[in-house]
Structure formats: C-alpha cells, structure tokens
Amino acid sequence: MDKIKILVVDDESRMRKLVHDFLTREGYAVVEAADGEEALDIFYSDKEISLIVLDVMMPKINGWEVCREIRKISKLPIIMLTAKGDESDELNGFEIGADEYISKPFSPKILVARVTALLRRANKIGETADIREAGGIVMDKTAHTVAIDGQNIDLSVKEFELLDYFMNNRGIALSRERILDSVWSYDYFGDARTIDTHVKKLRSKMGAKGDYIKTVWGVGYKFEV
C-alpha cells in the first residue's frame, strides 16, 4: 500500500524540516513547498496529495489565498499554521474552509495527531484507536483524552505527553534528562526543573492516581501501578 502523501507549505526551511521529520517518522510521505505559488503548482499537478499543512504568512501568495483557491475545487483537509494567536485570524481560517488552525509555536506531536485525526475523518486511514490502560487510567491517544476511573481529566499538551511517556515506560526509572529528550524534543525551552513543575501539576490532576508517579531520588521518576 502506498504511503499517504502530505504537502507541507512554509517559507521557513527549519519549520518545513521539523514537520517533515515528524510526519515521515509516522510513515507519511511528505512533499514540501516554500511559498504559496509553489504550493498551488504542486496541488494542481500531484493528484495523490491527501492533506495540506499550510502556513499563513508567506511570500508571493499567502496561506489564506492558497486555501481559498483550493476550496474552489477540492475538500482536501487543510491545517493552517500561523504565528498569530488572534481569534479573528482563527475565525477567518475556518470561514475560508480550513479544517484545523494551529498557532506557532506548537508541539509537533500534536500536529501529527491532528493530521491523523483529519485523515481518519476523511476516510484516508482506518479507525483503529490507540488506547492504553494502567491502574484505572485509560489514555486514548487517537481522541487525545485521559480518563481516571471513568472520569475524564483535562491535561495540557505536555502533561498528556508526559503521562503517555510514563505509561509507555512503566516500571523504569527515568532520568530528568531522558524525559526532557523524549518528551520535549525539538520544542524544548527550559531545563530539568521543567520536569518537576509538570510532574507536580500532573500528579495534582490525577488525584490519588498521582501516587503512581514515584520520585526516584538522585535519578528522576518512575511510573508504577
């Protein structure tokens, strides 16, 4: 089966590489464009494109215009990227036909999750859910939800990724450096104390289940049920 092809459009080569690396790691094929004009050329010539990750502020033709042009003839899923966090910009994106709108800086892992969800909605990939359970904790990575004893809890992006990492490495003593490298990765800004702050908040939201996250003195943390 051929890989699903995604068009990534951004005038920043660093950003294109970041998104490219995360998407290819998940098994997608990626085509890149450095401006809106190039993006439209690829869109019209390559009929295998299944989704577009589209930056807003670009030379020649901006993302808004690219989205409008594509929407004249196609319902292809489009995720808009922008450095602006203005609500009016987000509303404008949806009004012209964008399916998702993500403000920079963002977690590449969350972008990948949004891509997968949109492709699933567009029937490009199957509906298999990615669910893991431990000690009354149920994490649905597909829906990006966490429930404890049947009750959903509201986690931030990093808290969700941190809990996911702990559950994946159950019973293993994890150093703060290892956690930073694995969870924060490209979008890391801070030091090892960042881990302690997020663990404290995560434990609090987990209630009694927060005791599953053990402090290993001189090392870091360990998840045990």
The amino acid sitting at 203 is: R
Kindly list the distances between the CA atom of residue 54 and the CA atoms of 7, 26, 130, 137, 146, in Å, as whole numbers in the listed order: 8, 19, 27, 36, 29
In whole angstroms, what is the distance from residue 58 CA to residue 36 CA?
Answer: 7
In whole angstroms, what is the distance from residue 191 CA to residue 184 CA?
Answer: 10
In whole angstroms, what is the distance from residue 135 CA to residue 148 CA?
Answer: 9
| Two structure tokens written together for 88 | 């009016």
**From first to last of its 225 residues, what are the pLDDT tens digits of the chain?**
468 999 999 999 999 999 999 999 888 999 999 999 999 999 999 989 999 999 988 888 999 999 999 988 888 999 988 876 556 666 666 677 888 888 888 888 888 888 988 888 777 665 556 788 999 999 987 777 899 998 999 988 788 889 999 999 999 999 988 888 888 764 455 567 778 989 999 999 999 999 999 999 989 999 999
* Cis amide prior to 77 (ω within 30 degrees): no
